[in-house]
Amino acid sequence: MPLDIEAVFRAEYGRAVSVLVRFLGDIDLAEEAVQDAFTTAVRRWPETGVPPSPAGWIITTARNRAIDRLRREAKRDERQAEALLLHTRDAPPEEGPVRDERLRLIFTCCHPALAPQARVALTLRLLGGLTTEQIARAFLVPEPTMAGRLVRAKAKIRDARIPYRVPRDADLPDRLKGVLAVVYLIFNEGYGGSPELCTEAVRLGRLLTGLMPDEPEATGLLALMLLVESRRSARQDADGGLVPLPDQDRGRWDGALIAEGQGLVRRCLRRNHRGPYQIQAAIQAVHSDAPSADATDWGQILQLYDQLLALTPSPVVALNRAVAVAETEGPGAALGLVDVLDLDAYHVFHAVRADLLRRLGRHAEAGEAYEKAARRTGNPVERAYLERRRREIARP
């Protein structure tokens, strides 16, 4: 696909599918129609140039394609076609401003009656326009497995009639939490080594904050992702090795993303309707503020972790809080907090312990903890980093 069409595809695929789902009442038909329209664009645009409203052009073309297709198939299934042709009379005329139906689509994709993995896959497929193969690769499952997952999820939406709408006010807070969890899951999956997923998660975050500007947790999640994303290129050294936060070259952080993220943090905290994403974003904002690792305001980070722990009491949050305690009260105090946590299967738990033991001069125990951490991570870059730390400590 030529670059300019590729860009339109990335930006507008989800919007086009969402409008067509609403129009056709069927996800598969909508996807086919939009793909048809992009195929036509690839043929025509190089001659005609990109139209003034690419999204409008794609949607109008997709709609016409769908109508043509259904007319052709009318003899096969008269009733459906009739119903649809009736429906098309209400259709908006030509390429006017396009209504945004993406919010409906994302709430359908993230419906709690679908399996969590299916929610993630559907969101990436229908809103992000990722191919089944791309999604399968990012989640390390065979393509047929992922294809099956998507087919079953779409069949359930159709057969169980999962509604295509934004939930009522009473259900909205819970349902939005589910949508944000899917977006954050996509981001975290990408953090482990598929940057295109991070980009997609940020795009979805922007979409949600754009469509629901009054939801501070949606803004908080976007801010959190932007601030973490701002450090992407500093997180790897020239050999692809992991560089932890204190050792990163802060000059390589992306200033524009930081400014945007910090602006969003300030905006949502002013509303004083705090939630876990906003607080996590605020913690990242404090890190982003520090010109050097030593200049980090750990007292403020500890306060924020106290708030986070009160809102979401979990051993993982307690572990992260202990890291801040190590900076304010010393590694001994932090180790006492870490040792009582029941997180043996979590590699970060062992990595944090290893670091605290190392700082306390207990090198033999630290080495063992690094080894445990390395054994428990599935990510090769993290494993290489942890093994390097273990070797460094073994050398006197």
Partner 1 sequence: MKYYLLSVITPSEGEPPSAEGLAEIGRNLETFHQELREAGAWVFAGGLHGPETATVLRPKGGDVLVTDGPYAEGKEYLGGICLIKAPDLDAALHWGRRATWATTLPIEVRPLMGEA
Question: Where does this chain touch partner 1 (CB under 8 A) — which range of 3-11, 157-165, 249-257, 282-290?
Answer: 157-165
User: In the bound complex, what is the minimum distance in angstroms from residue 162's beta carbon to partner 1?
Assistant: 5
Name, in order, each residue with C-beta under 8 angstroms of 235's C-beta and a sequence gap of 6 or more. Answer: 242, 243, 248
> Which of 161-170's residues contact partners 24+ apart within 8 Å by CB, and which partners?
162/108, 162/111, 162/113, 162/114, 163/108, 164/21, 164/22, 164/25, 164/104, 164/105, 164/108, 165/104, 165/107, 165/108, 166/103, 166/104, 166/107, 167/107
Q: Please, which residue, 157 or 282, has the CB nearer to partner 1? A: 157
Binds partner 1 (CB under 8 A): choice among 46, 96, 163, 336: 163
Q: Does 25 bind partner 1 (CB under 8 A)?
A: no
Q: Please, which residue, 113 or 311, has the CB nearer to partner 1? A: 113
Name, in order, each residue with C-beta under 8 angstroms of 197's C-beta and a sequence gap of 6 or more. Answer: 124, 138, 186, 187, 189, 190
- What does the alpha-carbon distance between residue 33 and residue 48 come to, in Å, rounded to a whole number? 21
Binds partner 1 (CB under 8 A): choice among 167, 178, 192, 193: 167
Q: Please, which residue, 76 or 161, has the CB nearer to partner 1? A: 161
Window 199-238: contact mask with partner 1 (x via CB under 8 A): ----------------------------------------
- What does the alpha-carbon distance between residue 215 and residue 219 come to, in Å, rounded to a whole number? 7
Q: How many CA atoms lie within 13 A of 303 on its CB side?
A: 6
Question: Where does this chain touch partner 1 (CB under 8 A) — which range of 59-67, 93-101, 154-162, 328-336?
Answer: 154-162
Residues in region 94-123 near partner 1 by CB under 8 A: 111, 113
Joined tokens for residue 16: 């086009």
Find out whether 393 and 361 touch, Cβ atoms under 8 Å.
no
User: In the bound complex, what is the minimum distance in angstroms from residue 79's beta carbon to partner 1?
Assistant: 12
Q: Please, which residue, 113 or 151, has the CB nearer to partner 1? A: 113
Q: Please, which residue, 26 or 327, has the CB nearer to partner 1? A: 26
Binds partner 1 (CB under 8 A): choice among 160, 310, 311, 316: 160
Question: Where does this chain touch partner 1 (CB under 8 A) — which range of 79-87, 159-167, 185-193, 300-308?
Answer: 159-167
- What does the alpha-carbon distance between residue 83 and residue 348 come to, in Å, rounded to a whole number? 56
Joined tokens for residue 371: 């080894």
Which residues of the shown chain bind partner 1 in the complex (CB under 8 A)?
111, 113, 159-163, 167, 171
